[in-house]
Protein backbone atom coordinates (compact mmCIF):
# COMPACT_ATOMS: atom_id res chain seq x y z
CA UNK A 1 0.00 0.00 0.00
CA UNK A 2 2.66 2.46 1.10
CA UNK A 3 4.88 1.40 -1.78
CA UNK A 4 2.19 1.96 -4.39
CA UNK A 5 1.56 5.51 -3.10
CA UNK A 6 5.23 6.27 -3.72
CA UNK A 7 5.44 4.66 -7.15
CA UNK A 8 5.73 6.79 -10.26
CA UNK A 9 2.52 5.18 -11.60
CA UNK A 10 0.55 6.52 -8.61
CA UNK A 11 1.67 10.07 -9.34
CA UNK A 12 0.35 10.23 -12.93
CA UNK A 13 -2.14 13.10 -13.01
CA UNK A 14 -5.73 12.46 -14.14
CA UNK A 15 -7.00 14.24 -17.29
CA UNK A 16 -7.74 17.92 -16.73
CA UNK A 17 -5.29 18.24 -13.84
CA UNK A 18 -4.23 21.85 -13.19
CA UNK A 19 -0.49 21.95 -13.85
CA UNK A 20 -0.07 25.00 -11.57
CA UNK A 21 -0.60 22.68 -8.60
CA UNK A 22 2.82 21.13 -9.31
CA UNK A 23 5.19 24.12 -8.77
CA UNK A 24 4.22 24.47 -5.06
CA UNK A 25 5.24 20.81 -4.58
CA UNK A 26 8.64 21.59 -6.07
CA UNK A 27 8.87 24.79 -4.03
CA UNK A 28 8.14 22.91 -0.79
CA UNK A 29 11.27 20.84 -1.39
CA UNK A 30 13.50 23.62 -2.69
CA UNK A 31 12.48 26.14 0.01
CA UNK A 32 13.51 23.50 2.57
CA UNK A 33 16.86 22.45 1.15
CA UNK A 34 17.69 26.10 0.40
CA UNK A 35 18.32 26.30 4.16
CA UNK A 36 21.87 25.25 3.28
CA UNK A 37 22.69 28.78 2.13
CA UNK A 38 21.88 30.05 5.63
CA UNK A 39 23.97 27.46 7.47
CA UNK A 40 26.50 30.16 8.36
CA UNK A 41 24.03 31.41 11.02
CA UNK A 42 25.10 28.32 13.02
CA UNK A 43 28.83 28.81 12.55
CA UNK A 44 29.49 31.09 15.55
CA UNK A 45 27.05 29.31 17.92
CA UNK A 46 28.73 25.97 17.05
CA UNK A 47 32.06 27.43 18.15
CA UNK A 48 30.53 28.40 21.52
CA UNK A 49 28.80 25.21 22.64
CA UNK A 50 30.96 24.99 25.78
CA UNK A 51 31.85 28.62 26.43
CA UNK A 52 28.32 29.83 25.45
CA UNK A 53 29.14 33.56 25.20
CA UNK A 54 32.69 33.02 24.02
CA UNK A 55 34.77 30.20 22.53
CA UNK A 56 36.28 28.02 25.29
CA UNK A 57 39.60 26.24 24.61
CA UNK A 58 37.77 22.94 24.04
CA UNK A 59 35.26 24.50 21.65
CA UNK A 60 35.48 23.83 17.92
CA UNK A 61 37.34 26.35 15.76
CA UNK A 62 35.53 28.38 13.09
CA UNK A 63 37.75 26.83 10.40
CA UNK A 64 36.68 23.34 11.54
CA UNK A 65 33.01 24.29 11.59
CA UNK A 66 33.31 25.89 8.15
CA UNK A 67 33.89 22.45 6.65
CA UNK A 68 30.31 21.37 7.42
CA UNK A 69 28.89 23.59 4.67
CA UNK A 70 31.70 22.76 2.25
CA UNK A 71 31.14 19.00 2.68
CA UNK A 72 27.39 19.45 2.19
CA UNK A 73 27.89 21.34 -1.10
CA UNK A 74 30.42 18.84 -2.43
CA UNK A 75 28.13 15.92 -1.49
CA UNK A 76 25.20 17.80 -3.09
CA UNK A 77 26.95 17.70 -6.47
CA UNK A 78 28.19 14.14 -6.08
CA UNK A 79 24.85 12.72 -4.92
CA UNK A 80 22.95 14.55 -7.68
CA UNK A 81 25.33 12.92 -10.16
CA UNK A 82 25.18 9.48 -8.52
CA UNK A 83 21.45 9.29 -7.86
CA UNK A 84 20.24 11.15 -10.97
CA UNK A 85 19.31 7.96 -12.83
CA UNK A 86 17.56 6.54 -9.79
CA UNK A 87 15.57 9.78 -9.42
CA UNK A 88 14.42 9.48 -13.07
CA UNK A 89 13.44 5.84 -12.55
CA UNK A 90 11.81 6.15 -9.13
CA UNK A 91 9.82 9.27 -9.96
CA UNK A 92 9.50 12.55 -8.07
CA UNK A 93 7.45 11.32 -5.10
CA UNK A 94 9.82 8.59 -4.00
CA UNK A 95 12.88 10.77 -4.57
CA UNK A 96 11.35 13.72 -2.69
CA UNK A 97 10.68 11.39 0.25
CA UNK A 98 14.27 10.12 0.12
CA UNK A 99 15.47 13.75 0.06
CA UNK A 100 13.29 14.59 3.08
CA UNK A 101 14.55 11.60 5.07
CA UNK A 102 18.20 12.41 4.28
CA UNK A 103 17.91 16.17 4.84
CA UNK A 104 15.90 15.95 8.08
CA UNK A 105 17.96 12.95 9.18
CA UNK A 106 21.08 15.06 8.68
CA UNK A 107 19.80 17.56 11.25
CA UNK A 108 18.97 14.82 13.75
CA UNK A 109 22.35 13.06 13.39
CA UNK A 110 24.06 16.47 13.72
CA UNK A 111 22.04 17.13 16.88
CA UNK A 112 23.53 13.91 18.30
CA UNK A 113 26.96 15.24 17.31
CA UNK A 114 26.26 18.47 19.21
CA UNK A 115 25.04 16.53 22.26
CA UNK A 116 28.19 14.38 22.38
CA UNK A 117 30.41 17.23 21.09
CA UNK A 118 31.58 15.05 18.20
CA UNK A 119 32.30 17.20 15.14
CA UNK A 120 32.74 14.19 12.85
CA UNK A 121 29.13 13.28 13.52
CA UNK A 122 28.05 16.70 12.21
CA UNK A 123 30.26 16.25 9.13
CA UNK A 124 28.55 12.91 8.61
CA UNK A 125 25.06 14.17 9.52
CA UNK A 126 24.59 17.57 7.92
CA UNK A 127 27.53 17.22 5.53
CA UNK A 128 27.12 13.74 4.05
CA UNK A 129 23.55 12.66 4.88
CA UNK A 130 22.12 16.19 4.58
CA UNK A 131 24.22 16.73 1.43
CA UNK A 132 22.58 13.67 -0.15
CA UNK A 133 19.20 15.20 0.74
CA UNK A 134 20.29 18.43 -0.95
CA UNK A 135 21.42 16.67 -4.13
CA UNK A 136 18.42 14.36 -4.49
CA UNK A 137 15.97 17.10 -3.49
CA UNK A 138 17.49 19.61 -5.91
CA UNK A 139 17.01 17.44 -9.01
CA UNK A 140 13.85 15.57 -7.99
CA UNK A 141 11.25 18.04 -9.35
CA UNK A 142 13.24 19.33 -12.36
CA UNK A 143 12.29 16.85 -15.11
CA UNK A 144 8.70 16.72 -13.81
CA UNK A 145 8.34 20.49 -14.18
CA UNK A 146 9.93 20.46 -17.64
CA UNK A 147 7.38 17.85 -18.74
CA UNK A 148 4.48 19.86 -17.30
CA UNK A 149 5.61 23.10 -18.95
CA UNK A 150 6.98 22.22 -22.41
CA UNK A 151 5.88 25.70 -23.52
CA UNK A 152 7.73 27.51 -20.69
CA UNK A 153 10.45 25.18 -19.32
CA UNK A 154 12.64 28.07 -18.17
CA UNK A 155 9.87 29.71 -16.16
CA UNK A 156 8.87 26.38 -14.59
CA UNK A 157 12.30 25.31 -13.43
CA UNK A 158 13.12 28.90 -12.51
CA UNK A 159 10.17 28.88 -10.13
CA UNK A 160 11.44 25.76 -8.32
CA UNK A 161 15.08 26.77 -8.25
CA UNK A 162 14.03 30.21 -7.01
CA UNK A 163 12.88 28.28 -3.96
CA UNK A 164 16.44 27.18 -3.29
CA UNK A 165 17.49 30.84 -3.17
CA UNK A 166 14.42 31.74 -1.09
CA UNK A 167 15.09 28.96 1.41
CA UNK A 168 17.94 30.92 2.92
CA UNK A 169 15.71 33.95 3.41
CA UNK A 170 13.41 31.82 5.57
CA UNK A 171 16.08 29.75 7.31
CA UNK A 172 18.30 32.63 8.47
CA UNK A 173 15.65 34.43 10.60
CA UNK A 174 14.05 31.10 11.59
CA UNK A 175 17.36 29.75 12.93
CA UNK A 176 18.00 32.94 14.93
CA UNK A 177 14.43 32.90 16.27
CA UNK A 178 14.68 29.25 17.37
CA UNK A 179 18.13 29.64 18.96
CA UNK A 180 16.85 32.63 20.91
CA UNK A 181 13.76 30.65 21.97
CA UNK A 182 15.72 27.59 23.16
CA UNK A 183 18.57 29.51 24.79
CA UNK A 184 19.06 28.76 28.50
CA UNK A 185 21.74 29.42 31.12
CA UNK A 186 23.45 26.14 30.17
CA UNK A 187 22.77 25.95 26.40
CA UNK A 188 22.89 28.31 23.46
CA UNK A 189 19.95 26.47 21.93
CA UNK A 190 21.68 25.05 18.82
CA UNK A 191 20.96 21.42 19.72
CA UNK A 192 17.22 22.02 20.15
CA UNK A 193 17.16 24.21 17.03
CA UNK A 194 18.68 21.42 14.92
CA UNK A 195 16.06 18.90 16.15
CA UNK A 196 13.21 21.36 15.58
CA UNK A 197 14.42 22.29 12.11
CA UNK A 198 14.77 18.61 11.22
CA UNK A 199 11.12 18.03 12.17
CA UNK A 200 9.83 21.23 10.52
CA UNK A 201 11.64 20.61 7.24
CA UNK A 202 10.57 16.96 7.11
CA UNK A 203 6.93 17.98 7.46
CA UNK A 204 7.28 20.81 4.95
CA UNK A 205 8.89 18.53 2.37
CA UNK A 206 6.02 16.08 2.86
CA UNK A 207 3.77 18.71 1.23
CA UNK A 208 5.84 18.18 -1.91
CA UNK A 209 5.73 14.39 -1.58
CA UNK A 210 1.94 14.49 -1.25
CA UNK A 211 1.23 17.10 -3.94
CA UNK A 212 3.61 16.19 -6.77
CA UNK A 213 2.15 14.70 -9.95
CA UNK A 214 3.68 13.72 -13.28
CA UNK A 215 1.81 14.28 -16.54
CA UNK A 216 0.54 11.33 -18.60
CA UNK A 217 3.06 10.40 -21.32
CA UNK A 218 0.94 11.87 -24.14
CA UNK A 219 -0.13 14.98 -22.21
CA UNK A 220 0.24 18.45 -23.73
CA UNK A 221 -0.98 21.83 -22.44
CA UNK A 222 -4.42 22.67 -23.81
CA UNK A 223 -4.15 24.53 -27.11
CA UNK A 224 -0.37 24.17 -27.30
CA UNK A 225 1.39 22.68 -30.28
CA UNK A 226 5.15 22.24 -30.48
CA UNK A 227 6.75 24.98 -32.61
CA UNK A 228 6.64 24.09 -36.32
CA UNK A 229 9.85 25.91 -37.15
CA UNK A 230 12.55 24.17 -35.12
CA UNK A 231 15.02 26.38 -33.28
CA UNK A 232 18.66 25.59 -33.89
CA UNK A 233 19.63 24.64 -30.35
CA UNK A 234 16.30 23.08 -29.36
CA UNK A 235 15.96 19.39 -30.13
CA UNK A 236 12.88 17.20 -30.22
CA UNK A 237 15.14 14.14 -29.93
CA UNK A 238 16.45 12.60 -26.70
CA UNK A 239 19.95 11.75 -25.54
CA UNK A 240 20.49 9.11 -22.83
CA UNK A 241 22.41 10.24 -19.74
CA UNK A 242 25.31 7.81 -20.31
CA UNK A 243 25.73 9.14 -23.83
CA UNK A 244 25.11 12.80 -22.97
CA UNK A 245 28.00 13.15 -20.57
CA UNK A 246 30.42 11.94 -23.24
CA UNK A 247 29.42 14.73 -25.66
CA UNK A 248 31.34 17.99 -25.84
CA UNK A 249 28.04 19.87 -25.41
CA UNK A 250 27.79 18.46 -21.87
CA UNK A 251 31.27 19.65 -20.98
CA UNK A 252 30.72 23.07 -22.56
CA UNK A 253 27.66 23.47 -20.36
CA UNK A 254 29.61 22.11 -17.39
CA UNK A 255 32.19 24.89 -17.84
CA UNK A 256 29.42 27.46 -18.43
CA UNK A 257 27.81 26.57 -15.08
CA UNK A 258 31.13 26.24 -13.26
CA UNK A 259 32.40 29.66 -14.39
CA UNK A 260 29.12 31.42 -13.66
CA UNK A 261 28.90 29.88 -10.18
CA UNK A 262 32.60 30.38 -9.34
CA UNK A 263 32.31 34.10 -10.03
CA UNK A 264 29.15 34.51 -7.93
CA UNK A 265 29.88 32.18 -5.02
CA UNK A 266 33.19 33.88 -4.23
CA UNK A 267 31.37 37.19 -3.87
CA UNK A 268 28.60 35.74 -1.68
CA UNK A 269 31.11 34.38 0.81
CA UNK A 270 33.04 37.64 1.06
CA UNK A 271 30.23 40.18 0.52
CA UNK A 272 30.12 41.49 4.09
CA UNK A 273 33.88 42.10 4.66
CA UNK A 274 34.30 43.27 1.05
CA UNK A 275 31.87 46.20 1.25
CA UNK A 276 33.20 47.16 4.68
CA UNK A 277 36.81 47.14 3.49
CA UNK A 278 36.21 48.89 0.15
CA UNK A 279 34.14 51.64 1.82
CA UNK A 280 36.11 51.66 5.05
CA UNK A 281 34.43 53.69 7.80
CA UNK A 282 31.28 54.30 5.73
CA UNK A 283 29.61 50.88 5.98
CA UNK A 284 28.84 49.44 9.43
CA UNK A 285 28.64 45.66 10.09
CA UNK A 286 24.83 45.98 10.35
CA UNK A 287 24.67 47.73 6.98
CA UNK A 288 26.97 45.08 5.51
CA UNK A 289 24.54 42.42 6.76
CA UNK A 290 21.85 44.38 4.93
CA UNK A 291 23.98 44.23 1.78
CA UNK A 292 24.21 40.42 2.13
CA UNK A 293 20.43 40.25 2.55
CA UNK A 294 19.89 42.39 -0.54
CA UNK A 295 22.17 40.11 -2.55
CA UNK A 296 20.14 37.09 -1.37
CA UNK A 297 16.96 38.76 -2.63
CA UNK A 298 18.47 39.42 -6.05
CA UNK A 299 19.92 35.90 -6.11
CA UNK A 300 16.41 34.56 -5.54
CA UNK A 301 14.56 36.93 -7.87
CA UNK A 302 17.12 36.44 -10.64
CA UNK A 303 16.39 32.73 -10.67
CA UNK A 304 12.80 33.21 -11.71
CA UNK A 305 13.15 36.34 -13.85
CA UNK A 306 16.18 35.31 -15.94
CA UNK A 307 14.93 31.73 -16.42
CA UNK A 308 11.54 33.08 -17.57
CA UNK A 309 13.27 35.55 -19.93
CA UNK A 310 15.29 32.65 -21.40
CA UNK A 311 12.02 31.20 -22.75
CA UNK A 312 11.79 34.25 -25.01
CA UNK A 313 15.39 35.08 -25.94
CA UNK A 314 16.83 31.53 -25.89
CA UNK A 315 19.21 29.89 -23.43
CA UNK A 316 22.44 30.64 -25.25
CA UNK A 317 21.57 34.34 -25.54
CA UNK A 318 20.66 34.44 -21.85
CA UNK A 319 24.13 33.17 -20.92
CA UNK A 320 25.69 35.62 -23.38
CA UNK A 321 23.98 38.36 -21.32
CA UNK A 322 25.18 36.80 -18.03
CA UNK A 323 28.78 36.62 -19.18
CA UNK A 324 28.89 39.83 -21.24
CA UNK A 325 27.16 42.01 -18.64
CA UNK A 326 29.05 40.18 -15.89
CA UNK A 327 32.42 41.07 -17.43
CA UNK A 328 31.31 44.69 -17.77
CA UNK A 329 30.12 44.88 -14.16
CA UNK A 330 33.02 43.01 -12.54
CA UNK A 331 35.54 45.15 -14.42
CA UNK A 332 33.78 48.33 -13.28
CA UNK A 333 33.74 47.36 -9.57
CA UNK A 334 37.28 48.66 -8.81
CA UNK A 335 36.38 52.00 -10.44
CA UNK A 336 33.10 52.20 -8.50
CA UNK A 337 35.00 51.54 -5.27
CA UNK A 338 37.51 54.24 -6.22
CA UNK A 339 34.67 56.67 -6.99
CA UNK A 340 33.21 55.96 -3.54
CA UNK A 341 29.73 55.33 -4.91
CA UNK A 342 28.08 52.85 -2.55
CA UNK A 343 24.78 52.92 -4.48
CA UNK A 344 26.39 52.05 -7.82
CA UNK A 345 28.55 49.40 -6.11
CA UNK A 346 25.47 47.79 -4.53
CA UNK A 347 23.53 48.01 -7.81
CA UNK A 348 26.38 46.33 -9.73
CA UNK A 349 26.55 43.42 -7.28
CA UNK A 350 22.75 43.12 -7.16
CA UNK A 351 22.72 42.54 -10.93
CA UNK A 352 25.72 40.19 -10.70
CA UNK A 353 23.97 38.08 -8.05
CA UNK A 354 20.73 38.03 -10.04
CA UNK A 355 22.73 36.51 -12.91
CA UNK A 356 24.40 34.05 -10.53
CA UNK A 357 20.94 32.78 -9.53
CA UNK A 358 19.76 33.00 -13.12
CA UNK A 359 22.60 30.73 -14.19
CA UNK A 360 21.42 27.98 -11.85
CA UNK A 361 17.79 28.32 -12.88
CA UNK A 362 18.33 28.46 -16.65
CA UNK A 363 20.64 25.45 -16.93
CA UNK A 364 17.92 22.73 -16.64
CA UNK A 365 16.01 24.28 -19.56
CA UNK A 366 19.28 24.58 -21.52
CA UNK A 367 19.89 20.85 -20.93
CA UNK A 368 16.35 20.08 -22.04
CA UNK A 369 16.89 22.09 -25.23
CA UNK A 370 20.14 20.28 -26.05
CA UNK A 371 19.52 16.73 -24.77
CA UNK A 372 15.70 16.42 -24.75
CA UNK A 373 13.48 15.52 -21.81
CA UNK A 374 14.10 11.76 -21.47
CA UNK A 375 16.97 11.90 -18.96
CA UNK A 376 17.14 15.63 -18.29
CA UNK A 377 16.99 15.16 -14.50
CA UNK A 378 19.87 12.69 -14.47
CA UNK A 379 21.95 14.82 -16.87
CA UNK A 380 21.25 17.84 -14.66
CA UNK A 381 22.45 15.80 -11.69
CA UNK A 382 25.78 15.05 -13.36
CA UNK A 383 26.18 18.67 -14.42
CA UNK A 384 25.84 19.78 -10.79
CA UNK A 385 29.35 18.43 -10.11
CA UNK A 386 30.33 21.79 -11.64
CA UNK A 387 28.73 23.40 -8.58
CA UNK A 388 30.84 21.24 -6.25
CA UNK A 389 34.01 22.39 -8.02
CA UNK A 390 32.88 26.02 -8.07
CA UNK A 391 31.96 25.80 -4.38
CA UNK A 392 35.63 25.23 -3.59
CA UNK A 393 37.20 27.26 -6.42
CA UNK A 394 35.22 30.51 -5.93
CA UNK A 395 35.88 31.16 -2.23
CA UNK A 396 39.50 29.96 -2.56
CA UNK A 397 40.16 32.39 -5.43
CA UNK A 398 38.61 35.36 -3.65
CA UNK A 399 40.09 34.64 -0.20
CA UNK A 400 43.61 33.70 -1.26
CA UNK A 401 44.06 36.46 -3.84
CA UNK A 402 42.77 39.02 -1.32
CA UNK A 403 45.20 37.74 1.32
CA UNK A 404 48.08 37.71 -1.16
CA UNK A 405 47.33 41.32 -2.10
CA UNK A 406 47.19 42.42 1.54
CA UNK A 407 50.43 40.54 2.33
CA UNK A 408 52.04 42.37 -0.60
CA UNK A 409 51.25 45.68 1.09
CA UNK A 410 48.23 46.71 -1.00
CA UNK A 411 45.59 48.61 1.03
CA UNK A 412 42.51 46.52 1.96
CA UNK A 413 40.22 48.81 -0.03
CA UNK A 414 42.08 47.91 -3.23
CA UNK A 415 42.74 44.25 -2.41
CA UNK A 416 39.73 43.05 -4.42
CA UNK A 417 40.64 44.67 -7.76
CA UNK A 418 42.76 41.79 -9.07
CA UNK A 419 40.08 39.30 -7.96
CA UNK A 420 37.49 41.17 -10.02
CA UNK A 421 39.67 41.02 -13.14
CA UNK A 422 40.24 37.27 -12.57
CA UNK A 423 36.47 36.85 -12.35
CA UNK A 424 36.24 38.59 -15.74
CA UNK A 425 38.64 35.99 -17.21
CA UNK A 426 36.50 33.17 -15.78
CA UNK A 427 33.39 34.72 -17.29
CA UNK A 428 35.18 35.08 -20.63
CA UNK A 429 35.96 31.33 -20.59
CA UNK A 430 32.27 30.67 -19.87
CA UNK A 431 31.24 32.99 -22.72
CA UNK A 432 33.50 31.16 -25.20
CA UNK A 433 32.04 27.76 -24.17
CA UNK A 434 28.50 29.13 -24.45
CA UNK A 435 29.14 30.52 -27.92
CA UNK A 436 30.69 27.17 -28.94
CA UNK A 437 27.44 25.32 -28.24
CA UNK A 438 26.10 23.40 -31.25
CA UNK A 439 23.29 20.84 -31.53
CA UNK A 440 24.19 17.30 -30.46
CA UNK A 441 25.09 15.06 -33.41
CA UNK A 442 22.15 12.86 -34.48
CA UNK A 443 24.29 9.74 -33.93
CA UNK A 444 23.95 10.36 -30.16
CA UNK A 445 20.14 10.50 -30.28
CA UNK A 446 18.28 7.78 -28.44
CA UNK A 447 16.41 5.39 -30.73
CA UNK A 448 13.35 3.58 -29.50
CA UNK A 449 13.57 -0.21 -29.96
CA UNK A 450 12.08 -1.19 -33.30
CA UNK A 451 8.67 -2.84 -33.03
CA UNK A 452 8.99 -4.57 -36.39
CA UNK A 453 6.85 -4.27 -39.50
Partner 1 sequence: MRTTRGIFLWLAVGVPLLWGVTKTLQNALKLFQ
Site string for partner 1, 203-222 (x = CB under 8 A): -x--x---x-----------
Shortest distance, position 290 Cβ to partner 1, whole Å: 4
Determine the interface stretch with partner 1 among 55-63, 222-230, 282-290, 373-381 (rule: CB under 8 A): 282-290
Alpha-carbon gap, residue 119 to 432, rounded angstroms: 43
Number of chain residues interacting with partner 1 (CB under 8 A)? 34
Q: 12 - beta bridge partners? A: 214
* CA gap 414, 394 in Å, rounded: 19
Cα separation, 386 vs 383, in Å, equals 6
Tell whether residue 324 is a contact of partner 1 (CB under 8 A): no
The closest of 289, 281, 297, 277 to 402, measured between CA atoms, is 277
Q: What mask of x and - would describe binding to partner 1 in positions 327 to 356, judged by CB under 8 A?
A: -------------------x----------
Q: Which stretch binds partner 1 (CB under 8 A): 18-26, 369-377, 400-408, 445-453?
A: 18-26
- Out of 56, 62, 289, 339, name the contact with partner 1 by CB under 8 A: 289
DSSP state of 129: I
- Out of 290, 324, 341, 446, name the contact with partner 1 by CB under 8 A: 290
Residue 273 makes contact with partner 1 by CB under 8 A = no
The answer to whether 319 and 359 have CB atoms below 8 angstroms apart is: yes
Strand runs (DSSP E) across 186-281, as ranges?
A: none
Cα torsion angle, 444, 446, 449, 453, sign: negative
Tell me the per-residue interface mask from 37 to 76 with partner 1, x by CB under 8 A, - otherwise.
Answer: ----------------------------------------
Which of 5, 7, 20, 61 is the binder for partner 1 (CB under 8 A)?
Answer: 20
Task: Return the residue of 1, 286, 442, 448 that touches partner 1, per CB under 8 A.
Answer: 286
**Smallest distance, partner 1 to C-beta of residue 379, A:** 27
Only segment of 59-67, 226-234, 285-293, 436-444 that touches partner 1 (CB under 8 A): 285-293
Question: Which residues make Cβ contacts (< 8 Å) with residue 392, sequence separation at least 6?
Answer: 70, 74
Would you say 365 and 310 are in contact if contact means Cβ atoms under 8 Å apart?
yes
Determine the Cα–Cα distance for residues 182 and 401; give it in Å rounded to an integer. Answer: 40
Residue 27 as a binder of partner 1 (CB under 8 A): the answer is yes
The runs of H, that is alpha helices, within 372-449 are 376-383, 385-407, 417-435
Contact 186, 51 (CB under 8 A): no
Contact footprint for partner 1 (CB under 8 A): 18, 20-21, 24-25, 27-28, 31, 163, 166, 168-174, 204, 207, 211, 283-284, 286-291, 293-294, 296-297, 300, 346
Amino acid sequence: MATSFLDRASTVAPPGYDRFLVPPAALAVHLSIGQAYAFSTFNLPLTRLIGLNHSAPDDWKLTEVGWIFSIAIVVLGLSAALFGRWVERAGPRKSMLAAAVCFAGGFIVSALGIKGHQLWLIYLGYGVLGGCGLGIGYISPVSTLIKWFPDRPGMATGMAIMGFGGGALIAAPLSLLLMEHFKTATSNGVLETFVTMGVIYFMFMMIGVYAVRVPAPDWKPAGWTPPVKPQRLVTEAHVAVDVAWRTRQFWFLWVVLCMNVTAGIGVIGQASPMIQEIFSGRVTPAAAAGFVGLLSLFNMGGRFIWAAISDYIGRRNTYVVFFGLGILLYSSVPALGHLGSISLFVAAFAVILSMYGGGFATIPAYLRDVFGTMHVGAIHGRLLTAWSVAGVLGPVLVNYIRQYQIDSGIPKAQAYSVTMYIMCILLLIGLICDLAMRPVDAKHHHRLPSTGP
